[in-house]
Amino acid sequence: MTVRIGITGAAGRMGRMLAEAIARSDAPAKLTAAIERPESTLLGADMGELLGGDASGVVMSSDLAAVADQIDVLIDFTVPESTLAQAATCAAHGLPMVVGTTGFSDEQAQALATATAGVPLCQASNFAPGVNLTFKLAEAAAKALGNSADIEIVEAHHRHKIDAPSGTALSLGEVVAKALGRDLSQVAVFGREGRTGARDRDTIGFSTIRAGDIVGDHTIIFASEGERLEITHRASSRMAFAQGAVQAACWLVGQSAGRYDMQDVLADQESKT
């Protein structure tokens, strides 16, 4: 069965990358709907022509509900407000949803969970397989080093990214905090300035860089007396994120209603190999 995929933010950097990833996918997948904001000047444009190829017949629309019967799953990498609006439409039409949007407030995160309670939802801060391996490596390092190391997370992204720290950095912090039995909301330190005093061993520090066209770099540092362990993932293209999201979308179709993440996708596929 060919999985019919819709994407939101279709004219943006990630939207175009998702469209390209669908076209490249080894899985039987096809782009059948492209959604943009109502004020976009590209409404009515053909996605194929927008990507520099022949016309594909997929025309940019601002109304997900109008094309809901043409897709099996929606991929959304936009902003929280847009994601929540699309989630309501997906819920109304029983559509599975893959969400890579970050920067949700606690209230928005709860609203998303409530809206999508009746459909399959795969949500992750990062869909790149290498990043998801980095989560496992960070967890293993935290368990091995225990409370003997100071932990710092440094992330860098392009100058247009609007949320900080990145969702991936926060996920790294959550993974490590959980491994150490800590509550990230109580131990996270977001930047330092002035006379901060000696470092509290239990804290997990976050540093953010926004510059140029950096796609996404994440380093988690475990520093103790006499040695330092650094685990780094660097993305050189958004294609890794897009391919992972398409992989998740194809997997999500047919799953029962519930909340999943990229770890679930990879674990299930690994068990079948």
Q: Which residues form the catalytic set?
A: 157, 161
Helices within 47-163 (DSSP H only): 47-50, 64-67, 80-93, 106-115, 129-145
- Tell me which residue has tokens 């897009």: 242
- The DSSP bridge partners found for residue 266 are none
Asked if residue 210 lies in contact with residue 164, where contact means CB atoms within 8 angstroms, the answer is: yes
What six digits make up the tokens of 247? Answer: 């992989």
> At CA 104, angle to CA 101 and CA 106, rounded to 5?
150
Look at strands 120-123 and 97-99 and give their pairing: parallel
